[in-house]
Structure 1
Amino acid sequence: MSEASETRSMGALAEEAWDVSKTVVIAVGITLFVRFFFIQPFNIPSASMEPTLMTGDFILVDKIDYGYSKASLIYPLTRMPTEGRVFSDMPERGEVAVFKNARDKNKDYVKRIVGVPGDTVQVIGGVLHINGQAVERELIESRETTCSDRDLSARRYRETMPDGGPTYIVQECDGNRGDLDNTPPKRVPEGFYFMMGDNRDESADSRTPMVQLVPHDALVGRARRVAFSVDGGRAKFWEVWKWPVAVRYGRIGDKVE
């Protein structure tokens, strides 16, 4: 090969490498842009939102609805000493939202909003009360499950938020959980929300010291759809060869309600 041919070959390789680098940079930039401003994926690591969300679900969270705050950013920017939101809309009762829990190292939590500013929230005998009234619920089934590491039966209810709010399914284990089934009345002040898991006896939420009331600025976004779901009892997410039997195909694309 002549020196001129070798020079042209090296130049072609350098140009190709530059084109690939630009493609990667653009792809990463678009991904970060979409992740910050529009849609962010999250995985569900626990059973606290069953049956609405299951362990192994991967959900898409809409960040437009609630506007943007430092909670919208990626770590470590989420710890910036800034306050407030921009382009903010107020969440409504019954919506499923992701938020940063400052009392647990700023980890992402996903729960249902059951109390908005001005509401008084209380749980009496396992029944959610809002502003002194029991939230309407209807028993739909009893089933065997695992509660607090014990095999117990659980009841599932269709719960309906007041004032024509949304309806959804909650689960409650047999037996009394005094700390979660009976709480003092809590008034939700301006700029905060009362969050609860749909798996009522297996959720660290606003009934517990670990979470308490959630500030508006801590909201990341509203959960919209299940993008993917893997049964963790059959396979880990990275065990692609097990997907044919582990993927919950029926959940892919489900709307989060």
Structure 2
Amino acid sequence: MGAWSTAARSEMFSIASNSMAPALVIGDIFFAGRIRDPVPKLFRRGEIIIFRRSDTGSSDWVKRVIGLPGDRVQLREGRLHLNGQPVSREFIGSHEVDETRMPSVMQRYRETLPGEAEVIFDVLEQDDTQPFDNTPEYRVPERQLFVLGDNRDNSLDSRAMRSFGFVPMTRVLAQPRFIVWSRDLRRIGTRLD
């Protein structure tokens, strides 16, 4: 369950970009449990989090935790590597995206993050030659997180070290639980934790 508690204050959030597609898409409204205390040992790889980029009241962001303190994270030709090992990635098929700023058809992959309990989720890629598809290896500092959008070629995230970087655990606000409204009614009730 991570660092979250259902007894904590909860609220609704909405998505304004497709950077987390296919898990969350524009127009989705989701229920999220607020965090009580960001205890470092309770964060887990693969969970989706809501956070502030700065302590100056900037807007809330939604991304997936990929690297925990001490982890080494790198992308090589579009493939995610964690602690020197490639993360399992299986091609699922093509995926249509409804947004004018992106190609209408993307490639959909299923990634499996290693750990005590494997975490499986889908990601989207245009191809494996985009600007953030090859990165240096980043070591995650103490009390920080390395986050990625699931829509890998259309996400500003920790790969952009100069403009985005690591996310301090103290800036994590909540964890999405489930979708309560979507333009695609079949998505309503989809669990996100």
Quick check: TM above 0.5?
A: yes
Change (3 A) 1:190 1:88: closer
Summarize deviations over 1:122-170 as a string: whole Å, max 9, x none: 0111111100001001101024547883536421011100124210110
The count of residues paired between Structure 1 and Structure 2 equals: 185
Contact kept, 8 Å, 1:96 with 1:256, in 2: the verdict is yes
Could you tell me which runs of 5 or more consecutive residues in structure 2 were left unpaired when the two chains were aligned: 1-6
* Aligned residue number for residue 96 of structure 1: 48
Contact 1:156 1:169 in 2 (8 A): yes
| Percent identity for Structure 1 against Structure 2 | 37
What is the aligned partner in structure 2 of residue 170 from structure 1?
123
User: Helix, strand or coil: the match of 2:24?
Assistant: coil
> In structure 1, what is the equivalent of residue 80 of structure 2?
128
Structure richer in strand, relative to its length: 2
Deviation of the 1:40 alpha carbon: 1.8
Q: Which residue of 2 aligns with 1:212?
A: 165
Secondary structure, aligned partner of 1:250: helix
Distance 1:134 1:45, change over 3 A: same
**Among candidates 128, 131, 142, match of residue 190 of structure 1:** 142
Contact 1:154 1:172 in 2 (8 A): yes
Looking at structure 2, the residues matched to 210 and 44 of structure 1 have their Cα atoms a distance apart, in angstroms, of 21
- Tell me how far apart the structure 1 counterparts of residues 97 and 186 of structure 2 sit (CA, whole Å): 21
- Check the 8 A contact 2:48/2:64 in 1, yes or no: yes
Is the contact between residue 67 and residue 89 of structure 1 (CA under 8 Å) also seen in structure 2? no
Q: Is the 8 A contact 2:140 2:146 kept in 1?
A: yes
* Aligned residue number for residue 28 of structure 2: 57
Structure 1 runs of 4+ with >6 Å offset: none
Does structure 1 residue 40 correspond to structure 2 residue 4?
no
Q: CA RMSD in A?
A: 2.3
Deviations 1:99-118 (A, max 9, x none): 00118952100000000011
Higher helix share: 1
Q: CA deviation at 1:37?
A: 3.6
Residue 67 of structure 1 pairs with residue 3 of structure 2: no
Alpha carbons 1:148, 1:202 under 8 Å: kept: no
Aligned partners of 1:62 and 1:223 also within 8 Å: yes
Q: TM-score, normalised by structure 1?
A: 0.66
Alignment partner, residue 255 of structure 1: 191
The equivalent residue for 1:139 is 91
Q: Using the alignment, how far apart are the partners of 1:187 and 1:148 within structure 2?
A: 35
Q: Distance in 2 between matches of 1:196 and 1:104?
A: 22
Deviates more, 1:37-46 or 1:195-204: 37-46
Bigger Rg, structure 1 or 2: 1
Q: Sort the Cα spacing of 1:212 and 1:249 in 2 relative to 1 into closer, same or farther, 3 A.
A: same
